[in-house]
Structure 1
């Protein structure tokens, strides 16, 4: 039986964590090429509504769900299918990102806090994406349709995150999971890839940039940090029909701030 092809023309795209930052830029990028987008958010409805207002075209939708909660992935996929009529592309972007409130250096973090942060990041950053990938893959296979899944990983998966080890670990696991799925899902016409951004100038990182901007920018020989739009453009390419041969790839997007062999 021939391998199903990914659909051409307008597609139905589920983007998790799309209320701001990279997720918002990615939603705008897909909608800008005529795709219909499900804007997922966990708690920031106002931000998600703002993202929705920025999307050109029509037929977009809001989908809410905390990926750390049981049953959330099933509800998110079900509501997206109902709103858009199906899913052709999944972008696993939602994550509990490093912040002052979840720093967990091993030498100074009380064990109760250590356990709390680790479990929250594993549930959202890894297992939430794992569940969504499984459900969307089954949806595509049942339809006999090809599709695309793109995971938003991190440079920290390779460089290490000593102040946020759970973040670096979950991103490394997500990228490895993506490669396993690339092999498993290729016979069904589903390509799976990942991007691994370095520091990106999102609203969430504004305070960090204000405090340590010069040092952070100096990490790259370009003397700056990345933008959400640069990550979004890469995600959009990897989700395109011509990018099928990139399945299994992890694309570094860090301005040469960290090189790996």
Structure 2
């Protein structure tokens, strides 16, 4: 039986991750900004799985809270940094305060919890696993998300940097990057128009929180024991390409293979 610390546990993906570990018989320490929603999730974990759950409400933008989470959770075997915020802020409306809050919650908190986790395991001489939740926004910017996309790109590099330094101590650090996942979230709402635009992928459907949870659970387990510093894209194939586009040419061409005609453009 492991002890698993999940941040952002009151959210759709975070709650699904906590439930996946609880179903396996693991103990849970759950952190989130919203104490009432966190208690609702914790009660469901207890009722559905008989899980032992510690509730740790607080604001991850508070460095002292983030740094103290691992100690507050006890002997943590698996750390899942699932907390994240993605407010819509046009670039010309950006302020230092808006920018910093997204970076503090999405990047700095994950690094601070990982540092605390690493120190504890190195001191004890034990192995551990960290899984961060990234996003397709790490590689693709969009209007209103300059702060969010930047934070997820930084989180992916932080994942690699932490993996390099903690690997010699037996601590694996990886990330899961979800595509568009259907989540009913008051904290991070999205419009249906946006959801329809970004959920086009080769598999032709939106993801579910449980599918992200399954990937996190696998990465944290023994079958992924030789994997560290990687980002697992769980996105219905959207990273691979756009299956819904029409052919770039309406019919057969007379161009010989490897011999483009003069004046043709390659895209």
TM-score between the two structures when normalised by the length of structure 2: 0.84
Task: Report how far residue 258 of structure 1 moved.
Answer: 2.4
SS in 2 for 1:37: strand
Structure 1 residue 61 and structure 2 residue 54: aligned? yes
Task: Report how far residue 122 of structure 1 moved.
Answer: 0.9
SS in 1 for 2:29: strand
Render the CA deviation track for 1:45-79: whole Å, top value 9, x for unaligned.
Answer: 12111211222133211012211113112332222
Task: Report how far residue 209 of structure 1 moved.
Answer: 5.1
Distance in 1 between residues matched to 2:40 and 2:148, nearest whole Å: 27
2:63·2:109 contact (CA, 8 Å) conserved in 1?
no
1:196·1:250 contact (CA, 8 Å) conserved in 2?
yes
- Written as runs of structure 1 = structure 2, the 5 A alignment for 1:34-113 is 34-42=25-33, 44-55=34-45, 56-81=49-74, 86-98=75-87, 103-106=88-91, 108-109=92-93, 113=94
Asked which structure has the greater RCO (Cα within 8 Å, sep 6+), the reply is 1
Cα RMSD (Å): 1.8
Segments of 5+ residues of structure 1 without an aligned counterpart are: 1-9
Find 2:214's aligned residue among 233, 255, 258: 233
Q: Which residue of 1 aligns with 2:118?
A: 137
Distance in 2 between residues matched to 1:147 and 1:70, nearest whole Å: 22
SS in 1 for 2:28: strand
SS in 1 for 2:5: strand
1:23·1:93 contact (CA, 8 Å) conserved in 2?
yes
1:161·1:167 contact (CA, 8 Å) conserved in 2?
no
Task: Report how far residue 162 of structure 1 moved.
Answer: 3.1
TM-score between the two structures when normalised by the length of structure 1: 0.85
Q: Which residue of 2 aligns with 1:3?
A: none
Find 1:22's aligned residue among 13, 22, 25: 13
Render the CA deviation track for 1:136-184: whole Å, top value 9, x for unaligned.
Answer: 1111111111010000001000112332111011111111111111111
SS in 1 for 2:83: coil
Segments of 5+ residues of structure 2 without an aligned counterpart are: 242-267
Render the CA deviation track for 1:209-257: whole Å, top value 9, x for unaligned.
Answer: 534444333x212222111111000000000022121211100111112
